[in-house]
């Protein structure tokens, strides 16, 4: 491809393939398969359906992928396990983070904000948390990027976010997982008179809401999943937001083992630690309705999905609303839509 000229400057090389547009087919398939289980009370069956659909579609994506953030080790199959090879095996070599259902409990009970997510990054650039599944996090959107510090007191961070947004602490909405471990955090936020949105699960969607103005969320605080933190970092890199984290050990023995393995529990993990390359791609599709995405809607012979597709190199964020003809899909796919 010949270089292009723009105002006298050579600016362009051959465009790289936008795998984010391939990934949205993966999350759409998982959402369509899992959406049938909304409100049925069976988290295991819903997750199995999403995983099987996601694995089938990942096999068609032109990449040499290794799952870094999965749903456990190989002996826990049929889940997408850590170290599993996915894709066609062709270049590029990439790390993959998957969460076929972020929010299995909301899906099983028919509540809000269950989504299906996938992220990829160049091989070796995605943080591997090993067996340590919990992380203290703070996530914000573009307005407050560079203004927060996870080691600072809650009050200092909320005041910094309010200043960055040109408002008061009372104007902020803080999203927090509804867990007993967050009782003191919730009490602190209430004393500062900020608004609180408590959620039962789904902290990938919660982190992304901070960078999505229509969601009305200003900051995510509290301890959630480490894998979810890596997925959120991939998306927020392109969306202009920020997430910081610190690994949390659940027991003294876990802390000891982690240190022996070289993990630093008192170290702040920045965006560059969690997703070290701008060349990230992320896709999410709504399974149930939420502030971020609409859920799957079924009708006679068809369904609609609502997705978010993010590419780090360009910073492009796409909203994809798709109409699916299920009778045609069922002719060419083994996935039971």
Annotated binding site: 47, 71, 99, 102-104, 134, 179-181, 201-203, 225, 228
Look up residue 73 and give its two tokens.
């080790």
CA distances from 249 to 134, 229, 319 (A): 7, 15, 37
Q: Looking up tokens 């909405």, which residue turns up?
A: 173
Give residues with Cβ within 8 angstroms of 320, minimum separation 6. Answer: 24, 305, 306, 307, 308, 309
Q: Which residues are part of a known binding site for Mn(2+)?
A: 47, 71, 99, 102, 228
Question: Which residue, among 30, 23, 59, has the nearest Cα to 46 in the 3D structure?
Answer: 30
Q: Which residues are part of a known binding site for substrate?
A: 102-104, 134, 179-181, 201-203, 225
3-state SS string for the chain: CCCCEECCEECCCCCCCCCHHHHHHHHHHHHHHHHCCCCCCCHHHHHHHHHHHHHHHHCCCCCEEEEEECCCCHHHCCCCCCCCEECCCCCCEEEEEEEEEECHHHHHHCCCCCEEEEEEEECCCECCCCCCCEEEEEEECHHHCCCCCCCCCHHHHHHHHHHHHCCCHHHCEEEEECCHHHHHHHHHHHHCCCEEEEECCCHHHHHHHCCCHHHCCCEEEEEEEHHHHHHHHHHHHHHCCEEEEEECCCCHHHHHHHHHCCCCCCCCECHHHHECCCCCEEEEEECCCCCCCCCCEEECCEEEEEEEEEECCCCEEEEEEEEEEHHHHHHHCCCCC
C-alpha 34/C-alpha 38 separation (Å) is 7
């Amino acid at each position: 491809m010949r270089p292009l000229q723009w105002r006298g400057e050579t600016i362009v090389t051959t465009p790289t393939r936008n795998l984010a547009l391939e990934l949205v087919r993966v999350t759409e398939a998982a959402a369509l398969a899992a959406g049938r289980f909304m409100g049925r009370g069976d988290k295991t069956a819903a997750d199995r359906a999403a995983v099987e659909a996601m694995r089938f579609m990942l096999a068609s994506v032109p990449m040499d992928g290794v799952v870094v953030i999965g749903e456990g080790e190989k002996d826990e199959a049929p889940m997408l396990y850590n170290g599993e090879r996915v894709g066609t095996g062709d270049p590029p070599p990439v790390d993959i983070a998957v969460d076929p259902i972020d929010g299995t409990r909301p899906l099983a009970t028919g509540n809000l904000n269950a989504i299906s997510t996938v992220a990829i990054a160049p091989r070796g650039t995605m943080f591997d948390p090993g067996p340590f599944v919990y992380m203290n996090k703070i996530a914000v959107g573009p307005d407050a990027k560079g203004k927060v510090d996870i080691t600072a007191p809650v009050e200092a961070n909320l005041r910094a976010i309010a200043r960055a947004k040109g408002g008061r602490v009372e104007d902020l909405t803080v999203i927090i997982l509804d867990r007993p471990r967050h009782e003191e955090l919730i009490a602190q936020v209430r004393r500062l008179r900020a608004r609180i949105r408590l959620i039962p699960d789904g902290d990938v969607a919660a982190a992304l809401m901070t960078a999505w103005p229509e969601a009305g969320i200003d900051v995510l605080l509290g301890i959630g999943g480490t894998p979810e933190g890596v997925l959120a970092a991939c998306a927020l890199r392109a969306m202009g937001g920020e997430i910081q984290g610190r690994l949390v050990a659940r027991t003294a023995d876990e802390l000891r083992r982690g240190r022996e393995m070289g993990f630093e529990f008192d170290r702040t993990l920045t965006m560059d630690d969690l997703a070290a390359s701008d060349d990230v791609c992320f896709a999410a599709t709504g399974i149930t309705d939420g502030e971020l995405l609409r859920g799957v809607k079924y009708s006679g012979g068809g369904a609609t999905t609502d997705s978010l597709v993010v590419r780090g190199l360009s910073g492009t964020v796409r909203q994809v609303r798709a109409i699916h003809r299920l009778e045609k899909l069922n002719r060419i796919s083994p996935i039971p839509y």
